[in-house]
Amino acid sequence: MVGLRKVEIWRMKPEPRKVAAVGEELFEEYLRKKKETLSNDFGTNWFGRMMAVLLNNVPRGTYATFSVVDVTGASRTVEAKRSISYSLFNSTYSYDCGGYIGIGTGTTPPTRTDYRLESEVARLPASATFADGGDVVAVSATFTLTSDVYVTEVGLYLREGYNGCIWLLDRSLLDAPVLFPTNTPMTVAYIFAV
């Protein structure tokens, strides 16, 4: 099982109809409970677009792109599958790329079109870990601030190396503000089930 998912098989003729499903009850129950209890908890459109392009098969000799709004508010086209030198995940030869985590003091509920934290205080490169045979991937960054800050929002970003484009994958509000005391390391982690 990869994360929380369901698998469906559909017969398409004469009329489309589902003939089998795996994990359907758990998946639908999760979505129902999420809408009831976590109404402001969802990833961005950019995250969904990125995942769809990464899992979409692209024939040899062609390429795949998707559009995002970066942290500056500019619309960008990201080349996810092209050549080794320009591909989204193979561009560390001359540039840094990968995950970043941001923290902020914003309180406006998240939307699927958010492209940055509402009031970002800091953003740092993230480290990701997975232990073979384990159940989770953890993406984290440790912040040490120079003044006391009550953090109310966190964000997960991705930076493309080739053009330096950074886009928001997730923005979440905390249930209550968390004090990040002066000169005290505080680690923020996104944890994904696999």
Predicted confidence (pLDDT) per residue in 174-184, tens digit: 988 999 999 99
Q: Is residue 70 domain-shared with residue 4, that is, in the same domain?
A: no
Q: Is residue 23 domain-shared with residue 116, that is, in the same domain?
A: no
Can you give the residue range of the structural domain that contains 131? 42-193
pLDDT digits (tens, 9 = 90+) for 44-58: 787 888 777 766 666
Query: Is 185 or 95 the better-scoring residue by pLDDT?
Result: 185
User: In the chain, how many domains are there?
Assistant: 2
pLDDT digits (tens, 9 = 90+) for 121-169: 999 999 888 777 767 788 899 999 999 999 999 999 988 766 678 889 9
Query: Is 168 or 27 the better-scoring residue by pLDDT?
Result: 168
Contact between residue 194 and residue 137 where contact means Cβ atoms under 8 Å apart: yes
pTM of the model: 0.75
pLDDT digits (tens, 9 = 90+) for 80-126: 765 544 555 555 556 677 789 999 999 999 998 999 999 999 999 99
pLDDT score, position 60: 67
Give the span between the Cα atoms of 179 and 108, in whole angstroms.
19
Q: Is residue 28 domain-shared with residue 48, that is, in the same domain?
A: no
Q: Is residue 109 domain-shared with residue 152, that is, in the same domain?
A: yes
Average pLDDT for 27-49: 78
Q: Is residue 35 domain-shared with residue 47, that is, in the same domain?
A: no
pLDDT score, position 45: 83
**Residue whose C-alpha is closest to residue 158's, from 95, 56, 70:** 70
Q: Is the pLDDT of residue 59 over 70?
A: no
147, two tokens: 């003044």
pLDDT score, position 98: 79
Q: Which amino acid does the sequence have at 52?
A: A
Query: Is 89 or 60 the better-scoring residue by pLDDT?
Result: 60
Furthest-apart CA pair in the chain: how many Å?
66
Q: Is residue 121 domain-shared with residue 65, that is, in the same domain?
A: yes
Q: Is residue 46 domain-shared with residue 35, that is, in the same domain?
A: no
Cα dist. 19→11, 26, 29 in Å? Answer: 7, 18, 20
Q: Is residue 24 domain-shared with residue 111, that is, in the same domain?
A: no
Q: Is residue 130 domain-shared with residue 51, that is, in the same domain?
A: yes
Q: Is residue 23 domain-shared with residue 54, that is, in the same domain?
A: no
Q: Is residue 76 domain-shared with residue 121, that is, in the same domain?
A: yes
Q: Is residue 31 domain-shared with residue 107, that is, in the same domain?
A: no
